[in-house]
Each structure stands twice: as structure tokens, then as C-alpha cells.
């Protein structure tokens, strides 16, 4: 049985990896074409677009994983069926579920690779890709760091802790400078909201720094005071505010491009960020959906292997390899778009994110069970 398991697993691994590579190459090419519209903006050139698309390839592979495993498993098992090897295995006393179990045992390697890719590789390469693109497009206007986001707003500097959703910022600090590049004012707000095309700062403190009390003194005296930073300003005024309009040239589109999307975060960060949003009374639905989709991703991969076997032992037992691959591609596309559409639609309909993420693999597993039962 070990030799048989190795033979089946090796075949499925080979065809699945070939399918993954093919889909990734196609997706990278489409991403490069999509990026071509931004070439020559700032310093963004073809090589930057190519690097950006290649850095996103781990995320593309992760997204296509269940679809690729379905196509690869159908192709692999179909090859064995075309050579009558599955018939020989069953004649030797191996049941359908033993053959499926052999496929699933090596499918665990694919599942482990998928988890590693989605949790450790893809989030990092996606962040690298976005930083590369934004630096080329916007230059020094945006600087992303582990401690938040720094933005240049005219002569001022702005620090943003988090970009939340499409119209909200948290932990915002505005540093205002005069013509001599001296800090004159700081405005810190717990949050900022975009309301009717203008920004509003909420729950903050304005710190006004007074002018240097010794500006008219001799240059020697001025040097001494510059060295003594504790006496640089003659007064500091603080004013609390609940709401205040924020006049800025910062574009929401540019901020949104720097926000890490939920599907690009690993499961630990998703859970932590979801907890943060819930604690602050903010909407968590999109992050809940992304969290549960990542939880069910390994199950989806296993379901695709079982579904592929149900096709081979059922309605596609005697059809050509081309027909099998075509059915695999179409079914995989249906599953891919079901995951992409069912989750958001379920959130709009008020269905819990858990069910929205569970329904696609559940429906396809029921279909696989039905086909296997009919095949006997």
C-alpha cells in the first residue's frame, strides 16, 4: 500500500504543481498588463511593474490553490484512469476510499505548503510589493514603517497609525513647520474620518509651540540656547478638542493603496486586528470573513481532492483527458468565484462571516459525496 500511496501521491503532486505554476504565470502576466497604465508615473517603469507582479505571485498562488489542486488532481487521477491503472488497483482489492486516502495523504503536503505560503510568505512579499510600487509612484511623499505611516503634506509631516476601511484613520499626528523648518505646532487625534470630501479629526490635543524667546540676541547666545533644548520655546499651549476640520492635500486613494487588505494578512494578525476593531466599536465583518476563509482554506484543498476523485470514479470515468481538464478548469473557476462572491454577499445579507466562509467548501463537499455515492 505504501508503494501505491507513493505512486498516486507523486502523480497528483506533479500535476498540481504544474497547474499552480501555469496559473501563477498567467496571473502575473495579467497583473503586469494592469500595471502598464501606471508606467512613467513618477519613477514607475516596466521593471518596477514586473517586480511588483512577481512579488505578488505567492499571494496569487495561495488564492488559486484549491482551484489548482482540483485541476491537478483531475489531471493526475485522469492519467491513471486513462492507462487503466485505477481499474487494476480496484481489481487488486483497493477500494475507492483507499485510493482517495492515498491521494489525500500526499495532499497533506500540499496543504502544509499552502498554509506556509499564506501565513509566512505571501503577507511579507505583498507588503514588499506595495512598498516598492508606492515608492516608485509617490517618491518620498509616503514612507511606510512598522510603527505606522509617515506622509509629507506640503511643509508638514503626518503620522498615521492605521488606515481603517476606506474612510477612517486612527492615531493621527500632524507636525507643522515654519519656513525655517522649525516645529511650531503638533495636532494629535485619536481618529480621523472622511466626511463629505473633507477630513475631520476626533478627540485630540493641539500643542502650540511658542517662538524662540532669544531670536534677537547675539549669535553666540543663540548657539547656547540651541544646545539647551529645554529652553528653546518660551511657551507651550495645549488645547483639547472633540472635533476639528483637517485641511490637507493628502489623497484618500493614495492612503487606501497603502492599506493592507484583510486577505493579505496572516491569520494571527487578522485575529489581533479584528479584536482591536471590536474593542473600539468598529466594523469587523470584512476581517471576520478573511479570518474564516483562511481557517477553511486547508479544508477546501482536501475537498477539491475528493471532488476530483468523485469525477474520475463517477461521470468522467471514460471521457478523454481534454474533457476532464476542461471540466476541472470550469469547476475550479466556479469554486474560485463562489468563494470571492458568496462571502461578501453573505455579509450584505447579514449572514455570519463563519457561514459565509463555510458554505462554498460545504456545498462542494456535498456534491463530491453525492457523486461518490452514485459511483459506488
> Are both 217 and 308 inside the same structural domain?
no
Left (φ > 0), alpha (ψ -120 to 50) or beta: where does 366 sit? alpha
Which of 181, 213, 248 delimits the end of a domain?
248
Structural domain span for residue 117 = 2-138+262-375
> Are both 188 and 312 inside the same structural domain?
no
Which residue has cell 470514479?
A: 313
User: Residue 229: what pLDDT?
Assistant: 42
> Are both 119 and 90 inside the same structural domain?
yes
> Are both 267 and 133 inside the same structural domain?
yes
Residue 130 pLDDT exceeds 60:
yes
**In this predicted structure, which of 37-51, 306-320, 330-344 has the lowest mean pLDDT?**
306-320
> Are both 239 and 311 inside the same structural domain?
no
> Are both 13 and 110 inside the same structural domain?
yes
> Are both 289 and 226 inside the same structural domain?
no
> Are both 45 and 187 inside the same structural domain?
no
> Are both 168 and 239 inside the same structural domain?
yes
pLDDT, tens only, 60-92: 999 999 999 999 999 988 888 888 888 888 888
Which of 248, 271, 304 delimits the end of a domain?
248
Q: How far apart are CA 370 and CA 375, in angstroms?
A: 9
Q: Which helix (H) or strand (E) holds 348?
A: helix 321-348
Residue 144 lies in a domain: no
Q: Note if the pTM is more than 0.85.
A: no
CA dihedral 216, 218, 224, 230 (to 10 degrees): -10
Which residue did the predictor score with more confidence, 375 or 182? 182
Q: How far apart are CA 298 and CA 283, in angstroms?
A: 27
Total number of domains in the chain: 2
> Are both 133 and 193 inside the same structural domain?
no
CA dihedral 12, 16, 19, 23 (to 10 degrees): 160
Residue 28 lies in a domain: yes
Which of 248, 281, 299 delimits the end of a domain?
248
pLDDT, tens only, 207-256: 988 654 444 443 343 334 333 444 455 678 888 889 888 888 776 655 65
Residue 39 pLDDT exceeds 70:
yes
Q: Could you give phi then psi for residue 142, rounded to 5 degrees?
A: -125, 130
CA-closest candidate to residue 172, choices 237, 276, 248: 248
Report helix, strand or coil for 191.
strand
| Residue 36 CA, distance from chain mean position | 22
Q: How far apart are CA 88 and CA 282, in angstroms?
A: 59
Amino acid at each position: 500500500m505504501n508503494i501505491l500511496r507513493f505512486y498516486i501521491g507523486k502523480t497528483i503532486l506533479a500535476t498540481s504543481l504544474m497547474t499552480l505554476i501555469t496559473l501563477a504565470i498567467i496571473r502575473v502576466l495579467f497583473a503586469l498588463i494592469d500595471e502598464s497604465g501606471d508606467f512613467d508615473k513618477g519613477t514607475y517603469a516596466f521593471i518596477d511593474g514586473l517586480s511588483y507582479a512577481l512579488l505578488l505571485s505567492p499571494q496569487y498562488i495561495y488564492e488559486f490553490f484549491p482551484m489548482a489542486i482540483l485541476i491537478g488532481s483531475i489531471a493526475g487521477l485522469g492519467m491513471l484512469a486513462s492507462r487503466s491503472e485505477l481499474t487494476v488497483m480496484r481489481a487488486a482489492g483497493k477500494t475507492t476510499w483507499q485510493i482517495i486516502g492515498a491521494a489525500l495523504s500526499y495532499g497533506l503536503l500540499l496543504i502544509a505548503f499552502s498554509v506556509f505560503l499564506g501565513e509566512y510568505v505571501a503577507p511579507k512579499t505583498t507588503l514588499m510589493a506595495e512598498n516598492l510600487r508606492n515608492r516608485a509612484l509617490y517618491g518620498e511623499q509616503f514612507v511606510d514603517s512598522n510603527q505606522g505611516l509617515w506622509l509629507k503634506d506640503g511643509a508638514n509631516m503626518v503620522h498615521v497609525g492605521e488606515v481603517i476601511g476606506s474612510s477612517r484613520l486612527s492615531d493621527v499626528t500632524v507636525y507643522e513647520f515654519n519656513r525655517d523648518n522649525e516645529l511650531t505646532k503638533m495636532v494629535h487625534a485619536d481618529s480621523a474620518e472622511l466626511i463629505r470630501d473633507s477630513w475631520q479629526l476626533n478627540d485630540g490635543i493641539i500643542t502650540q509651540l511658542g517662538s524662540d524667546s532669544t531670536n534677537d540676541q547675539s549669535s553666540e547666545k543663540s548657539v547656547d540656547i540651541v544646545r539647551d533644548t529645554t529652553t528653546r520655546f518660551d511657551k507651550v499651549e495645549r488645547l483639547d478638542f472633540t472635533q476639528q476640520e483637517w485641511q490637507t492635500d493628502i489623497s484618500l486613494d493614495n492612503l487606501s493603496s497603502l492599506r493592507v487588505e484583510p486577505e493579505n494578512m496572516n491569520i494571527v494578525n487578522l485575529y489581533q486586528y479584528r479584536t482591536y476593531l471590536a474593542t473600539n466599536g468598529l466594523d469587523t465583518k470584512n476581517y471576520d470573513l478573511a479570518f474564516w476563509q483562511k481557517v477553511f482554506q486547508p479544508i477546501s484543498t482536501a475537498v477539491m481532492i475528493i471532488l476530483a476523485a468523485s469525477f474520475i470514479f463517477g461521470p468522467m470515468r471514460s471521457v478523454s483527458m481534454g474533457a476532464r481538464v476542461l471540466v476541472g478548469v470550469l469547476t475550479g473557476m466556479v469554486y474560485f468565484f463562489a468563494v470571492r462572491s458568496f462571502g461578501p454577499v453573505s455579509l450584505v445579507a447579514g449572514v455570519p462571516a463563519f457561514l459565509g466562509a463555510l458554505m462554498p467548501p460545504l456545498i462542494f463537499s456535498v456534491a463530491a459525496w453525492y457523486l461518490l455515492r452514485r459511483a459506488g
